[in-house]
Amino acid sequence: MRAAGVRVRVSKWLAELEKMFYGAATAYDKALGSPGGGGGGGKEGRGSSLTTRPFAPPADARHALSDALLRNVFGDDSSKRPQANLLSDYVIREIACLAQTGSDAVLDGRLRFTGGGGGDVKDSAPAASAGAGSGGGAETAAA
């Protein structure tokens, strides 16, 4: 009897977690103007190149995404609006960077992200392909 109760409790928790995840993802897609709210996949197949569709958010994307992030990340705490705005800018910048990455690179885990403050690009390739001294220092310096 107890095992069944634990399963029911875990199932309810997972269902609530799934609802929150998909609700947030849908809000972010809507804020960024993705077609159909589905992540911008369009009719292209899995093997298509992501570089054929550059990321061009709508004019009000920053504000809409900031609102969604304020609700979902900062618990609708209006005192956190500056942090939500910064996070929104970061997300939009990183999506634009990823939109320039080919699907083969994404599937191989060769992703590039901009540095925290500007246009610097950080490579997420394994450490063996990175230059000497670029291991963990970049992450801690940006934090």
108 occurs within a structural domain? yes
pTM, to two decimals: 0.61
Q: How far apart are CA 67 and CA 47, in angstroms?
A: 34
70 occurs within a structural domain? yes
Tens of pLDDT, residue by residue, the chain (143 residues): 566 666 778 888 999 999 999 999 999 999 998 754 444 443 344 444 444 466 778 888 899 999 999 999 999 999 999 999 999 999 999 988 888 888 898 899 888 888 755 555 555 554 444 443 333 333 333 33
Cβ neighbors of 88 (< 8 A, separation 6 or more) are: 62, 63, 65, 66, 69
12 occurs within a structural domain? no
32 occurs within a structural domain? no
HSE-CB for 33 with a 13 A CA cutoff:
11
62 occurs within a structural domain? yes
76 occurs within a structural domain? yes
What residue numbers bound the domain in which 66 lies? 53-125
